[in-house]
Amino acid sequence: MNFKHLRYFWTTAKAGGIMRAGEQLNTTPQTLSGQIKQLEEWLGHDLFKKRGRGLELTSEGRVALGYAEQIFALGDELEKSIRLARGQSRPLEFRVGVADSVAKSVAYRLLEPAMGLAEQVHMTCHEGKFPELVAQLSLNRLDLVLADEPVSRKIGVKAFNHGLGTSSMSFFCAPALRSQLQGPFPKCLHGAPMLIQGPMSSVRQQLDHWFNKHQLQPRLVGEFDDSALMNAFGREGRGVFTSPTVLEEETQAQFGVEVIGRSTELVEEFFAISVERRISHPCVAAITKAARSDLFAA
């Protein structure tokens, strides 16, 4: 088997089409189609079928994709293992994606153990939307994705969810705003100005349900995909906001805000997502160990 042909097929399947894959590989569509055709002839089966203007995997194509993902993931692991075994002095590369729904303080606390390894580490950190980061992970452009939701099997990406831990949520606001809120928590939230996560956030969906359950109607003054920006508005007294309880003391100290209440009904989960079923990357191992034994320890 020509593994170059297999990689072309794998990239095309992940990209969803010849044109996009050609751009990623810096290869003309004609060349790419020819290489995939040779692989199909070698295997004796069509791997793609036309669907509208795009391509769709055949049943044989889906089988081939599963094996291709395992082959290239193992190849990457082999390269990393050999490099470490040879004791090369160059830094260990660690490419991580952080979903923009994860609070910056949580992301730092999760990533910090990777920088404390005995060997030198060169970390490249990207922030983005969860689906986009998972796509990059599937193309082996990232070693890890940190997110507050697991990757679903429905999206067809070979990835593994490594649970890091959970945290309940705390509600915060500036001291000046706290003096204006009426009644005990959570009734004091009724009619209060509220800063809230964007509609795609898992926490936002829980909050909407929680408000309805407790018959609360806060006054929504801002929606944010960026938690750091939301917290900055909260610091200036623009509204009540939420943050994981595990970071309660840090949030109070950093933004000069007060805790007005907590809810164990609101839970944010955190995951380390990788293409490895068994974690071998030293940075990923350090992150998962520290998260489970320290940050999210019961």
Residue type for position 150:
P
pLDDT of residue 228: 86
Nearest to 237 by CA among 251, 255, 219: 255
pLDDT of residue 35: 87
pLDDT of residue 164: 94
CA torsion 79-272-196-100 (nearest 10°) is 0
Kindly list the domain boundaries of the chain, sorted by start residue.
3-68, 89-163+270-295, 166-268
Contacts of 5 (CB under 8 A, 6+ apart): 35, 36, 38, 39, 42
Q: Give CA separation, 41 vs 27, 45, 72, 232, 271, in Å.
A: 21, 7, 21, 59, 41
**CATH of the domain spanning 166-268:** 3.40.190.290
pLDDT of residue 210: 96
pLDDT, tens digit only, all 298 positions of the chain: 778 888 888 888 888 788 888 888 888 888 888 989 998 899 898 998 887 777 888 889 889 888 888 888 888 777 777 766 665 557 889 999 999 889 888 999 999 999 998 888 999 999 998 989 998 898 889 999 999 999 887 766 788 999 999 999 999 999 999 999 999 999 999 999 999 998 878 899 999 999 999 999 999 999 998 888 999 999 999 999 999 999 999 999 999 999 999 999 999 999 999 988 888 899 999 999 999 988 887 5
User: Which one is the CATH code of 3-68: 1.20.58.1610, 3.30.70.20, 1.10.10.10, 1.10.3720.10?
Assistant: 1.10.10.10
pLDDT of residue 194: 98
Report how far residue 256's alpha carbon sits from residue 40's, in angstroms, rounded to the nearest whole number.
62
pLDDT of residue 7: 87
Nearest to 114 by CA among 159, 144, 137, 80: 144
Contact assessment for residue 283 and residue 143, using Cβ atoms and an 8 Å cutoff: yes
Peptide bond into 131 cis (omega under 30): no
pLDDT of residue 245: 94
Same fold, 89-163+270-295 and 166-268: yes
Q: Which residue has the tokens 């260990």?
A: 92
Q: DSSP string of 201-236?
A: -HHHHHHHHHHHHTT---EEEEEES-HHHHHHHHHT
Task: Tell the CATH superfamily of the 89-163+270-295 domain.
Answer: Periplasmic binding protein-like II (3.40.190.10)
**What number of helices (H) and strands (E) belong to the chain?**
11, 10
